Amino acid sequence: MEPRLTIHGRKFKLLIPNAEIESAIDALADQINRDFEGATEEDAPILLCTLNGAMIFMGELLKRINFPVIVKAAKLSSYEGTHSTGVVKSETVLKDIEGRSVIVVEDIVDTGNTIEVMERMLFSLGAADVRICTLLLKPDVYKKSTVLDYVAMRIPNKFIVGFGLDYDELGRNSKDIYVLDE
Which positions are catalytic?
Answer: 110
Crossing angle of helices 55-64 and 18-35, in 10° steps, is 60
CA distance linking residue 50 with residue 73, whole number of Å: 6
DSSP per-residue codes, 69-132: -EEEEEEEEEEETTEEEEEEEE-----S-TT-EEEEEEEEESS-HHHHHHHHHHHHTT-SEEEE
Other residues' Cβ atoms within 10 Å of the Cβ of residue 152: 21
CB of 75 within 8 A of CB of 121? Answer: no
